[in-house]
Copies of this chain bind each other. A is one copy, B any other.
């Protein structure tokens, strides 16, 4: 039943989150600095500082967000369990309303609600899904998510940075960084479009253009204020 739908796995999503910013922000920052600095040393230091900051901010941020999601789910779950204990008739009515909104007749909705309510777990599960649209978050999701996002940011960030490490001046560094990063953005855009079931050409172009706009804007702004 599920095969014909494109479901993004969490892993792919996390890689995409980390790599999108990881490729773009360090690329734009180093490009911006290359416009005002002639040697590469400070560009590399800035790039490394930014990658460190981005990894921690996005990774730890992802970890806390994942943790919050679990906590939020658990607290809503607890609330639903307590509500079917304290105000069962009201909760039964809510189930009926949900079915009636789907086009089920009142009498039949009542019957269905009664049957669902026989099992408390089914009842709460239905309220969570249909009333709150919440799905149970996977276990350890927060930690794995954090690690994946941080690693993807790190890998993405080193691609625009390493040309400055292997070249001797910022102009050559910038040229090489543009070549490898734009090439990587295209590859990443293609991979992203493929994994998320989006049109390949426009999807790829969008990703590459976002990176190029960010880098161009950072370059022009850095030039302007220097």
Contact = CB atoms under 8 A, between A and B. Distances in A.
A94 to B, nearest CB: 6
A24 B153 CA distance: 15
Contact of A76 (B5, B32, B131, B207): B5
State the copy count for this chain.
Answer: 2
Contacts of A32: 45-46, 49-50, 52-53
Interface string A102-119: 111100100110011011
Interface SS majority for chain A: helix
Interface of A: 1, 4-6, 20-21, 24-25, 27-29, 32-33, 36-37, 41-42, 44-46, 48-50, 52-54, 56-58, 60-61, 64, 68, 71-72, 75-76, 79, 94, 99, 101-105, 108, 111-112, 115-116, 118-119, 122-123, 125-126, 129-133, 135, 196-198, 206-207, 210-211, 213-215, 217-219, 221-222, 225-226
